[in-house]
Structures are given as structure tokens and as C-alpha cells.
Amino acid sequence: MIGQTLSRYTITAEIGSGAMGEVYLARDNELQRNVALKVLPAEMAEDRQRLGRFKQEARALAAIHHPGIVVIHSVEEADGLHFITMELVEGSPLSAAETGPSLAWPRFFDVAIGLADALGAAHAQGVVHRDLKPDNVMITGDGQVKILDFGLAKLVRPESLPGDISVTAKLDQTGSHILGTPDYMAPEQVRGHDVGARSDLFSLGAVLYLLITGHKPFTGQTTAEKLAAVLRDQPLPPLSLRADCPLRLSQAVMRCLAKDPGARFNGAADLRDELREIRVQTCRGDEGTVRSIAVLPFSDLSSTQDQEYFCHGVAEEIINALTRIEGLKVASRMSSFQYRDLGGDSREVGRKLGVGTLLEGSVRKSGSMLRIMAQLIDVTDGCHLWSSRYDRELRDVFAVQDEIAQCIVKALQLTLAPDRTARLVEARTNNPAAYDFYLRGRDFFRRWGKRNVEIARRMFGQAIELDPLFASAYAGKADCFSYLYMYIDSSAENLDQADRLSSQALDIDPALAEAHASRGLALSLSRNHQAAAREFRIAGELDPSLFEPYYFHARDCVVQGKYDEAVEYYRLAAKVSPDDYQIPILLAQVYHALDRPRDEEAANRLGMELAEKAILLNPEDARACYMGAGAMVRLGQRDRGLKWANRALALDPDDPAILYNVSCTYAWLGKIDEAIDCLERTVRIGASYREWMENDSDLDPLRGHPRFLSLLESLAK
């Protein structure tokens, strides 16, 4: 079929054979992207009932949105052939990966947890795979696990999962064999009995057994011998074949391989959580491995309940200090602060964050007095490793933060580098009131929006008045002017202020990473790209855990058309702050420019999911609304994207950044007049996005409209 065109797809190469047909590489001539195209066998296409069931099951699979499951685009018919189009996954099959003692534990857990999580997503939609094996698992170039070939999948009622499921593994038309792969089939599947989610868990257990030991749990010379072994034999525990296998992991795999489905895990999500706990224990228990911690936002116990910004600041300073300790993995601020309203089991929070320990705390602030309480919790059993209470004056807040960080180091038996033994938390200022204003400013700045940034600018200004040598406050105020220049008013005055204040911050403290990041941003806005890159690199070297240098360096690369470099810096930013919704959505735009549609779609999907999480935490996050809306529209969720765009506009109808981005979404949706209305309002407010309007591809649908042309002409005067 090479060279043949089906509908709008030109077949260019054969990829292989799946459970339900031949798989080809094809070019979608309409969307200009490569896809995998599976042509269904003639016997299935001719059986109207079987074909109908397959289409129904394919639709169910297409509804699953998970990065670990191959995406089905469509089920189509052309020239008498029935076929499905799917995401083209490039990488190597798991069967080609190293197994046994040569497979490092961190990599094993990445694959195992990824598989369990993906299976859980499929089961939640009522889809069971029935043929999970290494050949049906792909590892992409960036290490992502992808489950392929749901050709034998069956659709069941989601409410029946994960327990007893009425899906029967039937013999084929001749009764000669059972659907599935003998090496990885569950006993009930071999017998032709009902199969379901727990049958998939048996198959996954067999895959994990192979990864750990390098051997299949059931062997035989013939198919009959293999099937008999599945029904009869009890394999040796993985620990017997690999001495460094954690006992709990060996037990988990053997539980998956139980002959009785009822003795296995209740569902893939339970197995995933168990694997996460084992990973944490393994990392904590092995000499030379990385210990891990998440610092949750401290609770506000002040009588007026208006000190949340201060409580968050206390926790954040501790996070910043801990990130500089070698051998300690620290969850990012954005990740851990999702759990600011804990109210549940701290062990569950730790499992979700993938860490071995949690730091919880509270702050009671009254006038110049502080009471800070902190406790370090072992995620595995919920026991306290350490706790303490500090009654101090406000001016001692940095000393308290340092003491807490030092106690964590001792409790986790970490070794500090020689240059870190004196202090982990350095005092930013000797003026408590200046520090209070600084924390208020940082809190408002992170909320985005014109009004919040203006308040932040005033807060930083108050801090500078109280302490003219407060370098962090100068950097914060510089960032406010940079924001105003980028999104609100591209005036020379705003740019000059960003330039002046960032220079002052560096003059006061040349070793402050934040100051170099602020300076880099100001220089990038002045198109001094080489100097900006130098400042971003210095900031990253001074504090590798700082998000801003990577993020703004990536954006500066985009401005210069250096898209490959932009991808790398966005990835570094995502590593520091994996829950930031801006990064994947902006990265999707870079992938679009690089003509990498699969990466673009995956990035938009991740960005949309992270934006949804951000909205749950802060319903007034207008930026999450309009950026999430853009991702939704590009993923085909038009009605939902429109709803989110309108929500962003309702939050602040006079913010130019919101108006411009909502305009882009309207343009994508074909709402031309509404899009131009928003752009005209940005101009009336005083913002000028002339360069963006002239070059932004999102606005291409507006190009020939008289109102849009008139608007561009007015900006040129």
C-alpha cells in the first residue's frame, strides 16, 4: 500500500503489524502532519457487528486524555478499506530497553509508575487493554512511556471498574486460540473467563517482573507450555533473582501475579500509589541516593487571618535554602503550595508529590512578635522526625528560617558543603517592616494583572524607602516595570525604570541571583540579547533552582527566532517548576513554529491541565484563564475555550494583556468582530501592541478586515 492515498492520507511506509491490522506511516495532507494509520483486517471490516463494536471502543479510547496512552484521531473508511488514524509515536519499544540488574531503579520506577498511571486512566474510561506486553509499550525520545495497540481492548461500564467486569476473552472464529499474548496473559484470560482491569494488572506484573529480573515469570517452548505455566507455576519472587530489589517491590509484583484476580490490587491507581511509596523508600534508604522533601505553605494562625503572604514567605525562604543542599530533592514551590489547604492525610500528600518527607508549619504574627511552629513528617508512616516551636521577635525571622533548615539537614542526615555550614538562610534586610512590605509585593506580583502589579510596585517601593540597600526589593520593583512595559504600556519610561532599578539591585548585591535575572529581563526588553543571555546564565549559576532566568531566557530566544534554544530553556524552567502552566503553553507555540505537531498537541494538553489546576487554587487567575483558553481552542475544545476566555475578560475587562490574549482566542474561533473589539479597547486604554498585532500568527484571520487595517494604521501614526 506504500504510495497509496486513502482519503486525505498518503501512505509512505510500513511500521508493523498490530493486533487488529497492519500499521503504516502516513501523511495527513490536510493538516500537514504525520500520523500512524492502521488498516483493519478484511474479516473485521466485513462483520458489521464486530466493526460496530470496534468503532464504539475506539471512540471510548479517543476520549482518554493521558500522556501515556497513544491518541486516536479518527475511525474512517475510504476505497472500501476501514482504518483508524492515530498519534505517531517515535521512540523504541520497551522490549528493546535494558532489563534486569542493568536497569537503574530511578528509571525502573519512571517506567513502572508511568504504565500504572496510564492503565488507570484507561480503566477509568471503561477500557481494558487485554494485551499489555513490552512490544506494546514505547519509550519516546524524551523518556515518556506510551502504551500502544489497544486493538484487543474492550469497552466496559466504567462504574464496574476496577472489580468484577463482564468482559469475556473469546476464542477466535475457529476456536483455535485465545486473544492475547501467552507470556503475559492472566489465568482467567487463558481459561476464557471474564477479564477486566485486574487482568491488565497481571500483565503489568509480568512486564515489571521482566524489567526487574531480566526474565519472564512464565516460560515454555510452545504456546501450550506457556499457557500451562501461567495456570500452574508460581514464579520465584523478583528478590530471589535480583538481590538489590526492595522487598516491598518484590511483594507488589507477586501480588499482581496472583492467580486469583481478587488477590491482586484493586486497581491500577492503587498499584501506582504503592510504586510511588516504594520509590520514596528506596531513595531514602539507599546510601548515596537523593533524599526528598516538600515544604507545604505555613498556616496563618494570626487572630486577624491576614498574614498569608507572610506565612508563604517564611515557607518559601526555607524552600530556597533547601534547594541549595546537595543530595536533597526539593519539590517546587508551585507543586507543594497546591496543598495549602491540606486538611487530609499528609502521607497522601507526600505520595502525590513523590517525596519522602514533608515539612508543615504555622505562623502566629502579632505586632513585632512571632510564633513559628514546624514539624518534619516521614511520608511512609506519618511519624514526626522532628518538631519545634520558636517564639521570637520579627527581626529574627531569618534566623528562625535558618534554624529550621539546619534541623532538617540533621534529621535527614545530610552533609553540607563547606561553604554552607555557616548559614543556609541569609538575611535579606535588617529592617523587619521592609521585609514585610517586600513579601506583600511578591505576593501581589505573582497574582498577575495590571492592578496587582501596580500594588506590588508600591509595596516594593515602600520596602526600598525603609531600607535603601534592600537589593531584592529593587529587583522586585524592576520586574514590575518590566511587566508593565511588556503587557500594559510599552513606554520608554517603564523600560528606563526597569533598567535603572535592576542595575541598582546588582550594584547593591552582585551575588544576588534575582538581581541578575531582573537585569537580564530588562536587557532583553531593550533588545540587548547578548548581555541579557549573560545575566540569565549568571543567575542560573548562582541559584539553579530559580525559575525566572530559564523562563525569560527562553522567551528572549523566541524573540530572536532561536526556537531550538528556547525549547531547552523552557525545559529547564519546567524542571524547576513542573506545575507552571505558562511553560507548556508557550512551548506549544515554539513547537508550532518548529512544525512539531505531536509535541505541540502534547504541550497544549499539559498546559491546559495545569491551567485547570491553577484555577482551582486561585479562581481569579485571569492569566491561567486566557492561556488555558488558548490551549483548549487549539485542542479542538472550542466551546470550553470560549467560556474560559470570557471568564478571563470578566475578571478584568480593562487589562490590556487580557484583552489582547482573549482577542487571539476569538480570532481562532472565527469571532472576528469580537476579536477586533478587544484590540480596539487595548488601544483606547493606552496600550500599544503594534508589533504583536503585525506579526502574531494568531491574528491572521483578521488580516484583511477593514477595521483591523484601520487599527494598525492608527498605531503607525
pLDDT of 219-237, one tens digit each? Answer: 888 888 889 988 998 888 8
Instruction: Between 102 and 550, name the one with better pLDDT.
Output: 550
User: What 8-state DSSP symbol labels residue 418?
Assistant: G
Residue 618 near residue 611 (C-beta atoms within 8 A): no
pLDDT in tens, 77-101: 888 888 888 888 888 888 766 677 7
Q: Are 642 and 630 in contact (CB under 8 A)?
A: no
Q: According to the CATH classification, is domain 93-284 in 1.10.510.10?
A: yes
Which residues are bridge partners to 617 per DSSP? none
Dmax over Cα atoms in the chain, in whole Å?
A: 87
Phi, psi (deg, nearest 5) at residue 139 = -110, 115
Name residues whose C-beta falls within 8 Å of residue 497's C-beta, 6 or more positions apart in sequence: 477, 478, 481
- Report which of residues 21 and 315 the model is more confident about: 315
Q: How confident is the model at residue 486 (pLDDT cuts 50, 70, 90)?
A: confident
Residue 73 parent element (H or E): strand 72-78
Task: Give me the torsion for CA of 27, 28, 34, 36, rounded to 10°.
Answer: -90
pLDDT in tens, 138-175: 888 777 888 887 655 554 444 333 333 333 333 333 33
Grid cell for residue 281: 523508600
Chain-centroid distance, C-alpha 469:
38
Least confident range of 185-194, 196-205, 333-342, 446-455 = 333-342
Residue with cell 554552607: 420
Quote the pLDDT of residue 167: 33
Q: How far apart are CA 36 and CA 152, in angstroms?
A: 17
How far is Cα 162 from Cα 154, in angstroms, rounded to an integer? Answer: 14
Backbone angles phi, psi at 325, to 5 degrees: -95, 120
Average pLDDT score over residue span 278-289: 58
Close Cβ partners of 66 (under 8 Å, ≥ 6 residues apart): 117, 118, 121, 122
Instruction: Report how far residue 133's alpha carbon sits from residue 416's, in angstroms, rounded to the nearest whole number.
Output: 45
* Cα dihedral 134/140/144/145 (nearest 10): -20
Choose among 524, 320, 325: nearest CA to 418. 325
Give the residue among 492, 542, 534, 493 at the shortest CA–CA distance from 513: 542
Q: How far apart are CA 690 and CA 191, in angstroms?
A: 69
Q: The CATH number of 652-717 is which of 1.25.40, 2.30.110, 2.40.50, 1.10.10? A: 1.25.40
Residue 123 to residue 150: CA distance in whole angstroms? 12
Q: Where are the alpha helices (DSSP H) in 412-491?
A: 432-445, 450-466, 471-483
Average pLDDT over residues 432-436: 91
128 and 199 Cβ atoms separated by less than 8 Å: yes
Average pLDDT of span 92-115: 82
CA dihedral 656, 662, 666, 671 (to 10 degrees): -50
User: In what helix (H) or strand (E) does residue 511 lie, and over which residues does it extend?
Assistant: none
| E strand spans, 644-700 | none
Distance from chain centroid for Cα 372: 32
**How far is the C-alpha of 409 from the C-alpha of 414, rounded, in Å?**
5
Active site residues: 131
Contact 47, 41 (CB under 8 A): no
Geometric angle at alpha carbon 290, from 289 and 291, rounded to 5°: 120
Are 365 and 349 in contact, with CB atoms under 8 Å apart?
no
Question: Which of residues 421 and 466 earns the better pLDDT score?
Answer: 466
Task: Give me the CATH code for the 290-420 domain, please.
Answer: 3.40.50.10610
Cα–Cα dist 234/279, whole Å: 26
- What value does the CA radius of gyration of the chain take, rounded to a whole number of Å? 28
Cα distance between residue 85 and residue 73, in whole Å: 5
Per-residue pLDDT reduced to its tens digit, 583-608: 999 999 899 989 999 899 999 999 99
The separation between CA 218 and the C-alpha centre of its own chain, rounded to angstroms, equals: 37
CATH of 5-86, one of 3.30.200.20, 3.30.460.80, 3.90.79.10, 3.40.50.720: 3.30.200.20
**Every domain of the chain and the residues it spans:** 5-86, 93-284, 290-420, 652-717
The span from the CA of 613 to the CA of 584, in Å, is 14
551's grid cell: 523562563
197-213 and 247-256 helices, crossing angle to 10°: 140
CB 542 within 8 A of CB 511: yes
- b/e map of 274-295 (b: 16 or more CB within 10 Å)? bbbbbbbbbbbeeeeeebbbbb
| pLDDT the model gives residue 158 | 40
Please give the grid coordinates belonging to residue 342.
491540606
d(CA 325, CA 405): 10
Query: In this structure, is the dihedral angle defined by the CA atoms of residues 46, 47, 49 and 51, taken in order, positive or negative?
Result: negative
pLDDT tops 70 at residue 475: yes
- pLDDT number for residue 153: 52
pLDDT digits (tens, 9 = 90+) for 26-70: 999 988 889 988 887 777 777 777 777 667 667 767 778 788 888
User: How do 357-366 and 299-300 pair as beta strands?
Assistant: parallel
- Calculate helix-pair angle for 450-466, 432-445, nearest 10 degrees: 170
Note the pLDDT tens digit of each residue in 668-716. Answer: 999 999 999 999 998 888 776 777 788 777 898 998 899 999 998 888 7
Mean pLDDT of the chain: 84
Residues 6+ apart with CB under 8 A from 289: 282, 283
Whether 93-284 and 5-86 are alike in CATH topology: the answer is no
State how far the Cα of 320 lies from the Cα of 325, in Å rounded to an integer: 10
DSSP letter string over 132-178?
--GGGEEEETTS-EEE---TT-EE--GGGTTS---EE--B-TTSS-B
How far apart CA 282 and CA 99 sit, in angstroms, is 18
DSSP designation for 340 = S
Distance between CA 347 and CA 368 in Å, rounded? Answer: 35
> Rounded to an integer, what distance in angstroms lies between the CA atom of residue 213 and that of residue 685?
66
In the prediction, which pLDDT does 97 show? 65
Residue 365, C-beta contacts closer than 8 angstroms, at least 6 positions apart:
302, 307, 310, 394
Cβ(95)–Cβ(126) under 8 Å?
no
Partners of 167 in beta bridges? 195
Query: pLDDT tens digit string along 607-639?
Result: 999 999 888 878 888 999 999 999 999 999 999
Which contiguous run of DSSP H or E holds residue 534? helix 529-542
In percent, the amount of the chain with pLDDT more than 90 equals 37
Q: What is the identity of the amino acid at 297?
A: P
